Amino acid sequence: MQLIFVELPKFKKALSELTSLTDQWIYFLKEASSLDGIPDNLGEFLEIEMALNIANQVNMTVEELEIVERRGMMLQDEKGRITYAEEKDVLKRRSP
């Protein structure tokens, strides 16, 4: 375990200057509220991308959250249909 103490106002690195995972987390902590989307180099790590999505949802209205949830369910349903179709196709090819 490693502890890192940072005074956020003193962290001055720009997005293009982030060289380590620690830099990226500090940048996230400092700038999450002002980001409109997920910058490419922050989206490289699933955990940071998930944290940015959560931070984005905190500022949403109830209606916006419901829309996001419905879209997520629709995507899961579509993935399920694709998986089912692929499995059905594999079984069809195996049968004589």
pLDDT given for residue 13 in this prediction:
92
The per-residue pLDDT for 96 is 66
Between CA 61 and CA 30 the distance in angstroms is 23
Mean pLDDT per 10-residue segment, the chain (96 residues): 88 90 87 76 79 76 82 91 88 75
67-85: burial string, b at 16+ Cβ within 10 Å, e else: eeeeeeeeeeeeeeeeeee
Cα–Cα distance, 8 to 91 (Å, whole number): 56
In this prediction, residue 93 carries a pLDDT of 81
DSSP class of residue 44 equals: T
pLDDT computed for residue 12 by the predictor? 92
